[in-house]
Amino acid sequence: MIRLLPLLFLTTIGFAEEPYRIAFGSCAHQEHPLPILNLVVEHKADVFVFLGDNLYGDTDDMSVLRSKYERLTEKPSYRNLAANTRILATWDDHDYGRNDAGKEYAHKEASKEIFLEFFGEPEDSSRRDHSGIYHAEYIEVAGKTVQILLLDNRTFRDPVLRADSDTQKNKDSRFFYRLDYQPHPQPGPTLLGAAQWKWLEGELRKSADVRIIASGSQFGIEYNGYEAWANFPHEQQRMIDLIRETRAEGVIFLTGDVHYAEISRLEPEGGYPLYDLTASGLSSTWKFATPNANRIEGPIMDNHFGMLSLFLEASEPYLQAEVWDIRNNQRIEHTIPLSELEFVDEEIDQ
């Protein structure tokens, strides 16, 4: 669907200068020609963010994993992207090394080194000074600071909780498929790990006008029985609380994993709306989209990429979220005034 802006808002923002464009996507098989990457270049993205499953490694043999990265490097479409667009990346399970794996994966340190080598991480990068691949990038756009936080939702993650027979038996009628996992009922199991949480708090306390949090797993969806932040509800709430406690404004999530595109929106109490822009399907597709009461746009089931355009020179700055499919059709357009991503101080009763 295309979301039409009210005439009043269009009049208010006027005509902005050329935006800063952040393209993003996930789920790219190394044996696929990936023509969608050529479309990213055609759309003049300034940055492309790989959100995980950047290839399908799924191995305990690091020579096999390395060879699969080499297959990706050889593709003309990837070479075109790398020559014309700055690339940032985090990972999800398949490029981490094993389907649905977390901290138990035995080869995570070796896999990290291959990941950093492939994406050309500088030798003096802070990513090389800690476990995992979480990282922050800062970009100046029209006199404003854009913070890109690349989360690592694999290296430190505790095991997910398998859906038991009672969960299967008593599942919501909307779930016409078998559930893989169920939410952890008690706090304790972590998704990000203590060190990454401490780092994230420090980053959210820094000054920034737009904060883009990139996560391999979807953040803003409701529980659907597959991998997502919803399987760690206390961690999901911790993120919401941390954004509120640090007064971090301008937060928007970019996520992947599910092989379709959608926009989800959370309405946390005492905060502003948290948007989750999911683009997943650079080469992969899926048969159906899961139930998601937080979905406001989508799903798009064709191969696609996402685009977040930052109109920060407008008199009223705004973000424009889009999804473009493999036939170069715009399938989603959703505009978010930057002022919507701000805390509103409640009036104190006298």
**pLDDT digit string, tens, across residues 153-185:** 999 999 999 999 999 999 999 999 999 999 999
Q: Considering the entire predicted model, what is its pTM?
A: 0.94
Nearest one of 42, 53, 38, 31 to 281, comparing CA atoms: 53
Beta-strand relationship, 318-325 and 304-311: antiparallel
Q: How far apart are CA 133 and CA 96, in angstroms?
A: 10
pLDDT at position 246 is 98
Could you tell me where the beta strands, DSSP code E, fall in the chain? Answer: 20-25, 47-50, 86-89, 135-141, 144-150, 161-162, 181-182, 210-215, 251-255, 261-266, 274-278, 295-300, 304-311, 318-325, 330-337
Read off the pLDDT band of 51 (50, 70, 90). very high
Read off the pLDDT band of 346 (50, 70, 90). low
Q: How far apart are CA 230 and CA 113, in angstroms?
A: 29
Report residue 176 CA to chain centroid gap. Answer: 26
Please indicate whether residue 1 or residue 271 has the higher confidence score (pLDDT).
Answer: 271
Which residues are CB-contacts of 174 (< 8 A; sequence separation ≥ 6)? Answer: 291
Nearest one of 291, 271, 275, 293 to 332, comparing CA atoms: 275
pLDDT at 332 over 60: yes
Q: How far apart are CA 252 and CA 108, in angstroms?
A: 28
pLDDT at 12 over 60: no
**pLDDT digit string, tens, across residues 74-99:** 999 999 999 999 999 999 999 999 99
Q: State the distance between the two ends of the chain, measured CA to CA, in whole angstroms.
A: 45
